[in-house]
Structure 1
């Protein structure tokens, strides 16, 4: 007797994430909320296997085929929320991105977040699956920051962060921190982390007795902010994106 053949294709949540609708986790929530349909029938499970997105609609609107994965680097200024909408009416990154991104960029999603008062490199992609892979702590992607601080701290204290630190019951993993320059009680400190917990850099530095007056993300994995002007965006070349993505899959 012949064995049952597995249906050809991929999970619909994965395909919708790749098409830039949302991250896979967000797509699964959309399906649970009854917002996704296939040939007019509302889907009940994200485990549905399909070969293409033909016949798929979200909120009643047909979904087009997935574009190639694109990645943009944006120099986020302070004062912008890393979100599409803010209930309090504060300006978001999309306010600036309207003019910064090329007209054919389509819908893009931020990779991780930067706080309202944190500036610097923010990556954006049209591929929800790629976004999720870059955000996962298990991927171990280094994020590098420069912090301007006020107070007293020694290089030895900074080096002790290499073993991680627990603050108010929250464990922060390895932090590679070095004094960049110091003038009196003012310092510039460079820090590299791989977890990216909420407000991690600020909380760790404040725990050391420092006041953080400026925080800039300068790097995310192999991508650096370089000379990119504040408020501007640039597309990362396809070859660099594919090389980085293939490395992510091997982790």
Structure 2
């Protein structure tokens, strides 16, 4: 253990960078006595550790982050937003086998939702991007069975009451009255395409919002995350590292 190690870093920072938890949650893990350094339980938040120190959380070794890494993935449908799946289904991490460091998805995209997903080993950034108080916007392109009336759009813009509370107001733009070039199966009502921007991240939120006002989402795709967008240049299932400028922009949006 290296409390006096001037060249070391604070333990909670190391845990966050390793993707174990957010900085705040890492502090709680330390206070709760769940973290050991070189076999000794550490509860002091001022503890510093060096590169040679062995860190464990709940008896599991923590792999120190070899620098911070950031990627943007265009997630296909039928892929799990998880690092692993007990049912053996394909995960977003499986799509990134060529990446030599362990990265984790920021938030979720449902199994049947496609689009842009950030993956990183920056635990503190992950926590802030996911927390609604930081107001990071996500834009979705939504195909629904129409026609969608003005009153329905206003309901989305004012917030919709769900079983876990009222949603924050959404930004809604009508893109198209129907989808005449789609491979989707049409029912008796035409498909309409909308773009919806939210800053919360509740489970299946967009689908539930539309269901609450009486509409069925047929297809859902995230087209923007914060300032990140690809304008159809990142193929489905492909990924790329974020540029330094993109990383700085993401971090500055959440006060890092």
Same fold (TM over 0.5): yes
The unaligned stretches of length 5 or more in structure 2 are: 179-188
Residues 1:156 and 1:42: Cα distance change in structure 2 (over 3 Å): same
Q: Tell me the distance in 1 between the aligned counterparts of 2:163 and 2:36.
A: 45
Alignment of 1:1-251 (within 5 A): 11-24=10-23, 27=26, 36-43=35-42, 45=43, 47=45, 49-50=47-48, 52-58=50-56, 59=59, 61=61, 63-64=63-64, 66-99=65-98, 103-104=99-100, 106-168=101-163, 170-183=165-178, 185-226=190-231, 227-249=233-255
Q: Aligned-residue CA RMSD in angstroms?
A: 2.8
**TM-score normalised by L of structure 1:** 0.83
In 1, distance between residues paired with 2:96 and 2:132? 27
CA distance in 1, matches of 2:47, 2:123: 18
1:11 touches 1:46 (CA, 8 Å); kept in 2?
Answer: no
Unaligned runs of 5+ in 1: 1-5
What's the offset of the Cα at 1:198? 1.3
Distance change in 2, residues 1:62/1:131 (3 Å): closer
After superposition, what is the alpha-carbon deviation per residue over 1:179-219, rounded to whole angstroms, capped at 9, x for unaligned?
21012621111100011211110011112221111100011
CA apart distance, 1:160: 3.3
Contact 1:161 1:174 in 2 (8 A): yes
Number of aligned residue pairs: give it.
239
**Which structure has more strand as a fraction of its residues?**
1
Secondary structure at the aligned position of 1:234 is classed as: strand
TM-score (norm. length: structure 2): 0.81
Q: Deviation at 1:54? A: 3.7
CA distance in 2, matches of 1:220, 1:179: 19
Rounded Cα–Cα distance in structure 2 between residues aligned with 1:133 and 1:13: 15
